[in-house]
Amino acid sequence: MMTMSDPELPPEDLSPRRRRLQFRAWHRGTKETDLMVGAFVARHIATFTEAELDDLEQVLELLDVDLQDWLSGRRPIPAEVASPMLARMAAECAGRAAGTTPEIRAGLGLDPA
């Protein structure tokens, strides 16, 4: 199982495309976006459909500064970049302590789920 300490070590049963996307999600350029996007992708990469992987690739092309604002709720997602994948990411990242493990959330007294 992948941990926050070793985000670049994907499960060996992932396809090369999924491994590449997972790596890109954890290596965005800013730590904040790495945590939000990387943790989201790590939780779901194994179950994404091919269409969802296509959507994910489009999201990964967006600028970190914009993704941080949209995923944290500081700014609404503009219609020209809105997608089901970006909306799903934003919904999951809207919770407190987004991008952290259940163990860390439990240690902060937050819901570990």
Three-state SS letters, the chain? CCCCCCCCCCCCCCCHHHHHHHHHHHCCCCHHHHHHHHHHHHHHHHHCCHHHHHHHHHHHCCCHHHHHHHHHCCCCCCCCCCCHHHHHHHHHHCCCCCCCCHHHHHHCCCCCC
The fraction of the chain above a pLDDT of 90, given in percent, is 61
Mean pLDDT of 97-104: 61
Residue 2: per-residue pLDDT: 45
pLDDT digits (tens, 9 = 90+) for 21-68: 999 999 988 998 999 999 999 999 999 999 999 999 999 999 999 999
pTM of the model: 0.74
Q: How confident is the model at residue 96 (pLDDT cuts 50, 70, 90)?
A: low
